[in-house]
Copies of this chain bind each other. A is one copy, B any other.
Amino acid sequence: MTRRTGRRPGNPDTRESILDAARTTFAERGFDAASIRAIAGTAGVDPALVHHYFGSKDQLFLAAMNFPADPGQLVPKVLAGDRDGVGERMVRIFLGVWDSPAGSAGVALLRSAVSNEWTARLLREFVTTQVLRRVLEQLDVEPAQLPLRGSLVATQMIGLAIMRHVVRLEPVASADAETLVAAVGPTVQRYLTGPLST
Contact = CB atoms under 8 A, between A and B. Distances in A.
Given A156-B159, A184-B152, A147 B171 contact: yes
A174 to B, nearest CB: 10
A187 B156 contact: yes
A156 B166 CA distance: 15
Contact of A148 (B154, B179, B185, B196): B179
Interface string A139-157: 0000000011001101111
Interface stretch (A35-43, A65-73, A96-104, A107-115): A107-115
A127 B162 contact: no
Interface residues of A, number: 45
A1 interface: no
Contact of A196 (B164, B166, B170, B182): B182
Contacts of A7: none
A45 interface: no
A168 interface: yes
12 contacts: A124-B167, A148-B179, A151-B163, A155-B156, A155-B160, A155-B163, A155-B164, A157-B159, A158-B163, A159-B159, A179-B197, A182-B198
Given A154-B172, A179-B196, 11 more contacts: A114-B162, A114-B167, A120-B167, A124-B168, A151-B169, A152-B183, A157-B159, A159-B160, A182-B198, A183-B196, A183-B197
Interface of A: 110-111, 113-115, 120, 123-124, 127-128, 147-148, 151-152, 154-160, 162-164, 166-173, 175, 179, 182-187, 190-191, 196-198
